[in-house]
Each structure stands twice: as structure tokens, then as C-alpha cells.
Chain A
Amino acid sequence: MSGPVPGSRGPEIPPAAIDLADGEWHRLHPATPLLRGGFAFVAIAGFVLANLRERILGLFLGAGPGDAPPGDPIDLIVRRGLIPAALLVVLVVLIVIIVAFWLSWRVRSFRITEEVVEVRSGILFRTNRRGRLDRIQGINVSRPLFARLFGAARLDIDVAGHDANVQLAYLSGRNADALRQVILQLASGALSAGSPSAAAAEQRAAGGAAPEHDGSLSGIVAQRAREFMAPERDPRLAPPAAVVQMHPGRLLGSTLLHDRTVVFVLLVIAAVVLASAAHAFFVLFGIVPLLLGVGSQIVRRFSRSLRYSIAATPDGVRVGYGLLSTSNETLPPGRIHSVEIRQPLLWRPADWWEVRINLASHSDRQEGGRRTTTILPVGTRAEVFRVLALVLPGVVEEASRPLLEAGLAPARSGDGYTGSPRRAAVLRWFSWHRNGFALEQDAVLLRRGAIWRQLVVVPAARMQSVALHQGPLLRLLRLADVHVHTVPGPIRATLDDLDAVVAAGFFRDVAASGVAAARRESAAHLVKGARWQGMGRP
């Protein structure tokens, strides 16, 4: 497995990364303390420099110190002959800082064994965090802007459980990518064999035939884990081909036509009109923060999506984002719990769509909205289907294509969807006809909205539970709402105002199909001897 293979980037695993995963303790990138907390120091240095700018310029241009205002502390020091003392203080402070940095770098170390990844750190308050490899949900490599300057990258290892990710910050960028592969490989070994020794044995014997996958989600994951361990068929030897690439023109167009931009423009107009015509300047106090919020969202979406890419890798879908701070997240298909395809109103002439997902992961929560939930910021219909095939393998196939197409189109009779009855038009003026569902063996498709079209796909094997609601008004109209519960995320998989009898049937069928899909999946696990389970036993 080791030995660099000539290639542009990514595919080879440098020996250094193998060495990092040998079970011994290793230290992180030497710039780590600076990157983690040293920016305060840099900021202070910058502040001091900015304040001394005049003086330094003067020093170089040969101007005297006499023109500085009295009371300047540096003049004071110079006049009283305290220069040696001042220099000494500065020197001591510098030495203390450097020693502290060096110490914190010394004590922060990590090791990767065949079973766990462990990080220990801290001078006064020692912490030790250990994550089990067979509970790994995914590993992300991210490169914040400043870390990129040092060629460093951060490795976030998501382990099942609330706030249980292990962070390796920072590693050299090249090692980070390679170490990610090594850990995933160890994790898949630990997963498929259960015990480290068996994993190692299997790893040695993995040249043999890999079993055929059965098309189910778990089957693919298990098979990919095996493929990944067979070096001669390592698909990583070819860099992953991007399935969708972002065209800047389209991104710009879609940003301009996005609902959010329309709201922004309307807000600006409202602010201008109110402030100038009605002289109601106090309105601005309410609107300006709102404008800033919406505007920054628009800008962030744009800059994040400029270098968007999505590709299939052996261990999941890899989504890359970011212009200045880049992040690459690899999502195993089993972690994607529902998918929503939606279309802002003004995108319809161009047939552009946006794809979002609900992810089972607790990582990145602390960094406020950095979770990748938009898996395709904008794409044509063909691209949407390519992305869907990646994120819902086994669900999106040739056979289900017409149903998905119908989910994006206006309602027609006989398109496979069971819609709301006409009497629901009282509550859903325009969308009662489109409002409907279709049940596949492996997924539930919910179609909503006539003006803002949406299609939600929930894989049956991922559904948590199903609910049926009816209030007095709906009872009067003989209607009912159905909810499919998935892990928390931006998508609500609900369908309102169905015929009460149809909704009761939906409830029965979906409850049964969820159980059946989960059973099929665990049967596939048993056959493979692999347990790629999410938060099975937290």
C-alpha cells in the first residue's frame, strides 16, 4: 500500500502518513500553537507595529525623535535611559511566549492504533480524547485560510455520539489527506472484522475476490471498504472525477435570481422608500441588520460555491467547498438521511435546482452553520440526477427516474404520485394538485409546492419513525397530515392535507416499509459480516 505513486495530487499515500499511523505518539505541525491560538499574538504584534509606524519610518528616514508628542511612552523610555530594561522586558515576554508555544506543541500529540485514534494535550489541564475507529462516521479535511499559508490542514474525525469528534489540528496538508485515507482504511478494517488482529489479517489477505455488492446502501459501503483494502484495485490511483463542476456564470446568475436576493432587493427598496418618502428613519434600525444578515448569506453562498466540486470516492461522496478557506467533506452514503431537491421561483426558466441533505452527524455543530447541508448549490436537471445517484445509491436508478422526473414537473394524472383531493384546495390554493407522495420499495418521495417546487426523498432504510396528524379543521375536510421523521437538518419530510383515508394508508405502508428496509439492510450486514452502523450503540 505504501510507496508513492506518481500522480498529480491525492492518490498516493506518502510513507510519512503510514508512519503517522503506526500506533506510536506523534506530534502535530510545528505551526499548530500559532494557528490554534497564536493569532492573538499576531494581532498584538500588528497593533504595536501599526502604532510605531511613524517612529520606524522616522528611524529609516533619519528623522529625529523630537517631533513626537510629549508623554509618548517610548520617548519616556529613551529619555530616562531605560532602553536596556525595556528591551529586556520585551525579550523575556517573547521568550515566555515562545517557550509556551513550544511546550504546548510538545505536549500535544496524537496516535493512531488499529483500534483508536487518541489525542492528548494541555500543559496545566491535561486532556485526553480517544475515539474508536469502528465508530467513525466520517473524516473531513479543512484548510482555514491562515493554515493554508503554512501548508497546514485540520483533520476532523467524526465519531458516533454527541460532540464526540476528535480533531487533529494541524497537520501538514499532504499528510492530512493521506492520513485520512489511512484512518478510513483502518476503520473499515475494524468495521468488517470487528477485531484488530482479524482486521490486520484480512488486510493482508485482501487481494482475494471481493464479494459482489447487492445494490443496497450497506452492501456498497462494505464492498467499497473491501475494494479500498485491495491495493492493486485501489480506485484512488485515479483522482476522483468531479461529477459536477461549478460554472462561475451560472453561479452568478443563480445567485442573482435566488429568492434570497429578491428578498434583499425588496428590503433595500423598502428601506429607501420608507426613509426618503415617509422620513421614517427609525425603520432603518430594523432593516439594516436584516440587510447585513441576508447580504452576508448571499455573499457567503457565492464565495463558498465558487470552487464547489462533488466526486465519488470509495468511501463516500466528496464535497469540496470554499474559495479562501476550503473544506472537503466526505459523506458516506449511509449518513445521508434525506434529500431535498428544490427550485427557487426565478430559476425555473433555466431549469436550475438546488439539492440539500439531512446528515447524521454531530460534528461541526460548534462552528455554526459550517455543516455541509447544501450538496449542490445550483445545477441543471442532468446534474441533479448525477448527484442523486451519488447520494442515494440503490434508490436512484433507471427504473425510478420517471418517478423522480415527475416529482420535479407539474402534476399530471398517472404520473405515479398520489395527490391531495380537490377539497384540499381550500388550504392549498395552488399546490393541492402537486402536493403528493410516491412510495418506492427503498424510498418515500414527497412532492410539494406548485410555485416553489420541492421534492423530498427519504430512503426507507433511514427513516426514524412516521406520524399521522389531524386537527379539527382537517377532520372537517376529511384531510390529514403525514410526517416522516429523519435526523435533524434543514429538510422537513412532511406532507400536509392528504385525504384522510389515503394518509392512513400512507402511515401503514411507510411504517411497514421502514421496518422492512431496515431488516433488509441488517440482513445484508450479516451476510457481509460487516457492521457499518451509524450510531448503533452510542
Chain B
Amino acid sequence: MSSVDPVTQHPEPRAALPLTPRGGLDPVPGEWRRVSSRYLWVDLVGSIISGLVLTAASSVPFLLARLPGLLAIPVVVLVIAVVVAAFTPRRVRAIGYRLRDDDLLVRRGIMFQRFVAVPYGRMQLVDINRGPLDRALGLAEVKLVTAAAASSVTVPGLPMAEAEEFRDRLVELAETRRAGL
């Protein structure tokens, strides 16, 4: 089951902090490949912007009606946004992926944990997406699409070279393990 890591070029020894929270899930124990620590900034800026937008949008009722009670909504939203932003380092650290012999495992989240296993043969296509912030930091996001809408899996925050290599490796693996739909 535990295979030789198919992506051999970058044996980056990233922060070896435990991924699994106390009492959390760890269905497939082993080494996980982590995303770049620079991705922290992408995620942080993203959550700050969305937090500000949501706070602004939720304060519209207060601005219109001028009822002090309505001020509670944007305050609550702001607090949640701050908490989300504060947890960003943990969230980024919790992203991991692993290339097994026949499938790709991706894990995300500490508080809300999510594990997905996508067999290479099921991949329909592999995308590389780069946002403006990603580009500035030299990062990219690899997205795998299968025939099921729910199982599209993204691995964000990979250095560009690694992302391309990862994609090529996935396509190659998908070719050799091609299955029907």
C-alpha cells in the first residue's frame, strides 16, 4: 500500500508538524506531501478580502434601518472572519496529498476534516489555475476533474514547477491506469 513516492524530484522536507488533530481522523497513516508555506499568504489575503466583503454586505440592514440591534450581524460576521483568518496557518498546514500506487489522496481541514481518494483511472482532466496572487508568489493550483461533480479535487499552493510536474505525473498515471467511466 505505501509506495515509493512517484514524484521523486522534490523530496522537500516540509514542516513535520502532526497533521491530525487530537481525536481527528487519520484513515491512511503515513507521510503526506504538504503545500508550499507561501500559500499561507494567498489564503490569508483571500479570507481577509472575503471577510471584509461579507462584513460590508451584512451591515447593509443596519445602515438602512439604523436599528442598533442590527449592528450585531456585521459584528458576528467580522468575528467569524477574524477567526477564519486566524486559523489560516493551521488550515494551510493541514492540506496534504499523497500519490499512492493507484489513487491520489488529498486531505484538507483541521476542524472540518475532509479526505478524498481519486483513482488515477477516473481522472477526466487536470487543470492548472493561477490567480494574480498565486502568480506573484510563483504558485499554482492543480485541479482534478472526474465525471462526478462532487469529487473535483484541488491541491493549491504548489510551486509552479512542481505543479507542472505533478500534472504531468498525474496524466501519465491516468493513461496507464485508464478505466472507463
Q: Is B25 a contact of A486 with CB atoms below 8 Å?
A: no
Q: Is A468 a contact of B114 with CB atoms below 8 Å?
A: yes
Which of B103, B113, B147, B153 is within 8 Å of A470, CB to CB?
Answer: B113
A297 CB within 8 Å of chain B: no
Cα separation A478 to B25 with both chains bound (whole Å): 9
A-B contact count (CB 8 A): 127
Interface segment among B38-46, B66-74, B117-125, B158-166: the answer is: B117-125
Q: Is A465 a contact of B116 with CB atoms below 8 Å?
A: yes
Distance between A225 CB and nearest chain B CB, rounded to angstroms: 14
Q: Is A507 a contact of B27 with CB atoms below 8 Å?
A: yes
Distance between A211 CB and nearest chain B CB, rounded to angstroms: 19
Distance between B84 CB and nearest chain A CB, rounded to angstroms: 14
Cα separation A507 to B113 with both chains bound (whole Å): 13
Which of B112, B150, B181 is within 8 Å of A533, CB to CB?
Answer: B181
B50 CB within 8 Å of chain A: no
Which of A465, A521, A533 is within 8 Å of B122, CB to CB?
Answer: A465
| A465 touching B118 in the complex, CB below 8 Å, given contacts A522-B180, A534-B180 | yes
B111 CB within 8 Å of chain A: yes
| A487 touching B181 in the complex, CB below 8 Å, given contacts A464-B146, A467-B151, A504-B27 | yes
Q: Determine the residue in chain B with the shortest Cβ distance to A476.
A: B23
Q: Is B27 a contact of A508 with CB atoms below 8 Å?
A: yes
A70 CB within 8 Å of chain B: no
Residues of A within 8 A of B115 (CB): 467-469, 507
**What does the 1/0 interface line of B15-31 toward A look like (CB < 8 Å)?**
00000010111111000
Cα separation A514 to B177 with both chains bound (whole Å): 12
Q: Is B112 a contact of A511 with CB atoms below 8 Å?
A: no
Q: Is A334 a contact of B146 with CB atoms below 8 Å?
A: no
A488 CB within 8 Å of chain B: yes
**What does the 1/0 interface line of A456-496 toward B look like (CB < 8 Å)?**
00000111111111111001001010010111100000000
Distance between A3 CB and nearest chain B CB, rounded to angstroms: 35
Residues of A within 8 A of B181 (CB): 334-335, 337, 360, 462, 487, 533-536
Cα separation A471 to B113 with both chains bound (whole Å): 6
Q: Is A465 a contact of B117 with CB atoms below 8 Å?
A: yes
Residues of A within 8 A of B21 (CB): 475
Residues of B within 8 A of A486 (CB): 148
Q: Is A535 a contact of B124 with CB atoms below 8 Å?
A: yes
Cα separation A465 to B23 with both chains bound (whole Å): 25
Q: Is B180 a contact of A472 with CB atoms below 8 Å?
A: no
Q: Is A471 a contact of B26 with CB atoms below 8 Å?
A: no
Cα separation A467 to B150 with both chains bound (whole Å): 9
Q: Is B103 a contact of A515 with CB atoms below 8 Å?
A: yes
Q: Is B24 a contact of A470 with CB atoms below 8 Å?
A: yes
Distance between B24 CB and nearest chain A CB, rounded to angstroms: 6
Q: Is B119 a contact of A465 with CB atoms below 8 Å?
A: yes
Residues of A within 8 A of B102 (CB): 515, 519
B178 CB within 8 Å of chain A: yes
A532 CB within 8 Å of chain B: yes
Residues of B within 8 A of A518 (CB): 119, 121-122, 177, 179-180
Q: Is A515 a contact of B119 with CB atoms below 8 Å?
A: yes
Residues of B within 8 A of A522 (CB): 121, 178-180
B65 CB within 8 Å of chain A: no
B149 CB within 8 Å of chain A: yes
Which of A475, A480, A508 is within 8 Å of B28, CB to CB?
Answer: A508
Q: Is A464 a contact of B27 with CB atoms below 8 Å?
A: no
Residues of A within 8 A of B151 (CB): 464-465, 467, 485
Distance between A520 CB and nearest chain B CB, rounded to angstroms: 10
Residues of B within 8 A of A500 (CB): 25
Distance between B6 CB and nearest chain A CB, rounded to angstroms: 15
Residues of A within 8 A of B148 (CB): 464-465, 485-488
A538 CB within 8 Å of chain B: yes
Q: Is B121 a contact of A504 with CB atoms below 8 Å?
A: no
Name the residue among A470, A487, A533 with the largest chain B CB count within 10 angstroms: A470
Q: Is B180 a contact of A533 with CB atoms below 8 Å?
A: yes
**8 A Cβ contacts from A508-538 to B:** 508, 511, 514-515, 518-519, 521-522, 525, 531-536, 538
Residues of B within 8 A of A470 (CB): 24-25, 112-113
Residues of A within 8 A of B116 (CB): 465-468
Cα separation A522 to B26 with both chains bound (whole Å): 31
Residues of B within 8 A of A511 (CB): 103, 117, 119
Which of B25, B153, B178, B179 is within 8 Å of A465, CB to CB?
Answer: B153
A330 CB within 8 Å of chain B: no
Q: Is A475 a contact of B117 with CB atoms below 8 Å?
A: no
Residues of A within 8 A of B119 (CB): 465, 511, 514-515, 518
Q: Is A480 a contact of B122 with CB atoms below 8 Å?
A: no
Q: Is B117 a contact of A538 with CB atoms below 8 Å?
A: no
Cα separation A475 to B115 with both chains bound (whole Å): 14
Q: Is B180 a contact of A521 with CB atoms below 8 Å?
A: yes
Distance between B96 CB and nearest chain A CB, rounded to angstroms: 14
Residues of B within 8 A of A313 (CB): none
Residues of A within 8 A of B124 (CB): 535, 538
Distance between A224 CB and nearest chain B CB, rounded to angstroms: 16
Name the residue among A475, A511, A525, A535 with the largest chain B CB count within 10 angstroms: A511
14 A-B contact pairs sorted by A residue (CB < 8 Å): A461-B179, A464-B148, A464-B151, A465-B151, A468-B113, A469-B113, A470-B113, A472-B112, A478-B23, A483-B150, A500-B25, A504-B25, A518-B122, A519-B121
Given contacts A466-B117, A507-B117, A538-B124, 19 further A-B contacts (CB under 8 A): A464-B146, A464-B148, A465-B146, A467-B150, A468-B25, A468-B27, A468-B114, A468-B116, A470-B25, A472-B111, A475-B113, A485-B146, A511-B103, A511-B117, A515-B102, A515-B103, A518-B177, A521-B179, A522-B178
Top 10 nearest A-B pairs by Cβ distance?
A534-B181, A504-B27, A465-B151, A464-B148, A485-B151, A518-B179, A511-B117, A485-B148, A533-B180, A515-B102
